[in-house]
Structure 1
Amino acid sequence: MDNSYHSLNALFAQLGLDNSDEHISLFIDNNKLPSNVLIVDAPFWNQGQKHFIEESLNADADWSEVIDTLDALLR
């Protein structure tokens, strides 16, 4: 198990997205989710990104905390 702290910037890099603070802010501003849509079901993920998020959350992996943070930011 990877016990390192994962930042939002690291999550974006893991997802293959631009992980600069500016691009993260733009992503969040441009991809708001309704409260009834789970983050894993967001329409903007590709299959690989969706799989990573789903597997991380299902396994309660170290990435889960930062995924939850992103989820909150997207609301």
Structure 2
Amino acid sequence: MDTTPQDLPHLFSQLGLANDDKAIEKFIREHQLPSNILLQQAAFWTVSQKHFLAECLNEDAQWTEVIDQLDTLLRQTKSKAL
């Protein structure tokens, strides 16, 4: 059983990204998504990041809720990450 906390810092860590509050806020500010692009299809992800996100969403995995939270944050014009 995986006991990793399901929150934005740990999701960013899973994606191989810096996961401190400032890094998350900067990422969200610099990677806003238009409504016609699915999160897992965004051009700023690597192939492995896209695969991870798509797999989690398709399988309704433990990360789905946090991925949905990130998706929402990436669609806000002036978001506050935390």
TM-score relative to the length of structure 2: 0.86
Q: Does 1:50 align with 2:50?
A: yes
Mean alpha-carbon deviation: is it higher for 4-13 or for 58-67?
Answer: 4-13
| 4+ runs deviating over 6 angstroms | none
- Cα drift, residue 32 of structure 1: 0.2
Q: Spell out the pairing of 1:49-68 with structure 2 (5 A cutoff).
A: 49-68=49-68
Distance 2:3 2:22 in 1: 27
Which structure has more RCO (C-alpha within 8 Å, separation ≥ 6)? 1
CA contact (8 A) 1:3 1:62 kept: no
1:70 counterpart = 2:63: no
Q: CA deviation at 1:4?
A: 5.5
Aligned residues: 75
Does 2:19 correspond to 1:25? no
Q: Give the fraction of aligned pairs with identical amino acids, expressed as a percent.
A: 55
Q: Show structure 2 runs of 5+ residues with no match.
A: 76-82
Question: Structure 1, unaligned stretches of length 5 or more?
Answer: none
One-letter amino acid of the counterpart of residue 49, structure 1:
Q
RMSD over aligned Cα atoms: 1.3
